[in-house]
A and B are shown apart, each in its own frame.
Chain A
Amino acid sequence: MNAVEIKNLTTVLNGIEVIKNINLTLEQGKFLGIVGPNGCGKTTLLRTIIGSATPLSGSVTVFGMTPKEAVKAHIFGYLPQNQNIINNFPARSMDVVLMGLYGQLGLFRWPTKKHKQKAYEMLDILGMSGLGNATFSKLSGGQKQRISIARALINNPKLLILDEPSTGIDMVGQTDFYQLLKELQNQIGLSIIMVSHDIGAITTFVDEIACINKTLYYHGNPFGALDRQVLEKLYGRKVSLVTHSDCCSQCDKNKHE
């Protein structure tokens, strides 16, 4: 079964056509990266997939369900681009992780010891076990992202949706973060959709890339997205690209010299 099927999708926000006629399919268990310039509709596409934006035409199905049905079935683990938390927000990291279970628990039911134990396990998996009692709003960008991933994963979602998750994280932190996602994908068969600005960095980690600028310009093998013609069409101008990988060709060349 496909994790996501998008057919002829057009979404209009405040009278502006933000995405137009997009067709895209993601197989279950695959890791899809979405790239494109600022304001090209990446976030709107994600919001349409989770059902918080309504399409003008076309359809989205998530594991065969409409987005709203998928929300009720707790299919999604979601990490928005900007969590916009106020400075003194009264929540510990542990409370934030447990929030991921509130939808499943339903009204008038509170997290039990078992749920708290699970939250500690999630924090441990993400290397944040010592920060359970720390105030969430006081943590660094990287720590907040890891705690947020723990929150997104605690209800055992089938589809993890991440909108620019590496914003505010340094280069080393970003690589660690992408590797962590890859491990989670392999270990629990999670389907992942991740929006990123950094096309060079994510090509090593994702299975497929979709290049979007209002409409879909490319979908397929990640290295195919590095093609000069694809990038020029996507960004509307010549683009110089720096790629990252486990093996740096320039360093190897220097070693031999």
Chain B
Amino acid sequence: MTAAANAIKINMNEYINAAKEALSMSFIQRALISGIMLGIFSGIISVFIVLRRISFLGSGISHAAFGGVAIGFVTGINPIFTALAYSILTAIGIEQISAKGKVSEDTAIGIFFASSMALGIVLIGLSTSYNVDLHGYLFGSILAITHSDMTATIAMSLILTTVIILITKELHFITFNEELAYSSGIRVRLIKFIFITSMAIAIVTGIKLVGVILVSALLVIPGATANLITNSLFKMIIASSFITLFSIISGISISYLFNLAPGGTIVLIMSACFAAAYFLRKRY
């Protein structure tokens, strides 16, 4: 018994030392700072994505971003910029087409999603500059974040968090009922445009961290989890941001210590938080 306790103690000490060593490394510091900044913003925007029931839109835009990344590879422009422009245009396109009422929103998302992925596959096939970066865009490379990536993430997060906080009351009302908000004099189209654009920017920034395939999880799971355990908008925003931060920090740490894929680890921790909240809520 004593030998087993000693073994656990030694293992714990090893992990603590490894964590201290990791925190002193600049690439881990950059990953944590970028993750925390993106986590704060995605935690807030996730609340409105879940309440507006547009989780599939987040998923659609993130997969559509692959088409934008591919355009960057082919043209030689930084894929983040092409993905950003492509994602914003896709988001607006989906909103416009579904607003006309001839095609439902989920159908419009499905069409843009598949077409953009197809465009990406065709363009990547044509590209002569195929390299390992593509793997990074698909599955994320949070530990390979550069100083300029980190600066861009901090700036994006600060600006977008401020914007979303400034329009929180309008977003809350539009989410409650769009037609009511319109009849009260809220500029519904403007607010929705700001929101969708912010969402597209968050997705493209998140691609670097967890990749095209998993970035939508950052925008859906924290808000859905927070909605299970809170009853006011303010508490929901705080809970969602906390869940995102916890998942990102613990995901980066665990993936480093156990040599796991960071993007997948972050999303699995988020999913575990959701499962815990779901079962706890059911019980109490």
The chain A residues found within 8 Å of chain B, CB to CB, are 13-14, 47, 50, 52, 71-72, 74, 76, 78, 80, 83-86, 88-92, 95-96, 99-100, 102-105, 107-108, 110, 135, 151, 155, 161
B249 within 8 A of A: no
Most central of A50, A52, A103, A161 by chain B CB within 10 Å: A103
Query: In the complex, are the beta carbons of B233 and A86 less than 8 A apart?
Result: no
The chain B residues found within 8 Å of chain A, CB to CB, are 51, 53, 101-102, 166-167, 169-170, 172-173, 175-177, 179-187, 227-228, 230-233, 235-236
Q: A120 to B107, alpha carbons, bound, how many Å?
A: 43
Q: How far is the CB of B64 from chain A (nearest CB, A)?
A: 26
Q: A74 to B183, alpha carbons, bound, how many Å?
A: 8
Q: Smallest CB-CB separation from B50: which chain A residue?
A: A86
Given contacts A83-B177, A86-B51, A107-B170, contact A99 B233 (CB under 8 A): no
Q: How far is the CB of B41 from chain A (nearest CB, A)?
A: 19
Query: In the complex, are the beta carbons of A72 and B51 less than 8 A apart?
Result: no
Given contacts A90-B230, A91-B233, A99-B172, contact A71 B183 (CB under 8 A): yes
Q: A19 to B94, alpha carbons, bound, how many Å?
A: 29
Q: A191 to B209, alpha carbons, bound, how many Å?
A: 56
User: Which residue in A14, A80, A90 is a CB contact (below 8 Å) of B233?
Assistant: A90
Q: Smallest CB-CB separation from B47: which chain A residue?
A: A90
List B contacts of A99 (CB < 8 A): 169, 172-173, 176, 180-181, 184
Q: A51 to B230, alpha carbons, bound, how many Å?
A: 36
**Lowest 4 CB-CB distances: which A-B pairs, in order?**
A103-B185, A103-B184, A78-B183, A90-B233
Query: In the complex, are the beta carbons of A86 and B53 less than 8 A apart?
Result: yes
List B contacts of A78 (CB < 8 A): 179-180, 183-184
Most central of B51, B183, B227 by chain A CB within 10 Å: B183
Query: In the complex, are the beta carbons of B179 and A80 less than 8 A apart?
Result: yes
